[in-house]
Structure 1
Amino acid sequence: MIKIHLSRLLGERRLTQADLARKTGIRPSTIGDYYHELAERINLDHLDLICEVLNCTVSDVLEYIPSHKRKK
């Protein structure tokens, strides 16, 4: 499973989804999908823009959780 930590990152930086959409040029509905972890895919260009605007790394945004840890 892949977790998207966009909600935590925006909260820590006191930014809204709309702020991020404006700063990145990514559609607000797409930001919303990432924020609520509804996206099945993440565009790498979007990930690059998000990392640039939030001044973070890919590993700050995405986390891999092995399946054996999910079942516990």
Structure 2
Amino acid sequence: MKLHILMAERRITQNKLSELTGIRQPTISAYYNDTFKTIPRTHLDVLCNFFNCSVSDIIEYTPNSTADK
């Protein structure tokens, strides 16, 4: 997840982002630190609207190199 980059570019804290988006601060922290397991579509919508960006600006697909083919 590239949330930390978007936040740094806009100089916004996790607490402020939580306050402005309504997403709980621990959830923002998990996204920021890339420790989340899933992300609801509603959160992607909120973050994309807040940062005025597309989903690909927030998350990126990285293939699992250890997965069986």
TM-score, normalised by the number of residues in structure 2: 0.87
RCO greater where, 1 or 2, for CA within 8 Å and sep 6 or more?
1
Q: Structure 2 unaligned segments of length 5 or more: list them.
A: none
> What is the letter of the counterpart of residue 13 of structure 1?
R
- TM-score normalised by length of structure 1: 0.84
Superposition misfits of 4+ residues, deviation over 2 angstroms: none
Q: Which structure carries more strand by proportion?
A: 1
Q: Do residues 11 (structure 1) and 8 (structure 2) align?
A: yes
1:66 deviation in Å? 2.4
- Once the two structures are superposed, the pairs formed by residues 1-72 of structure 1 within 5 Å of their partners are 4-68=1-65
Aligned residues: 65
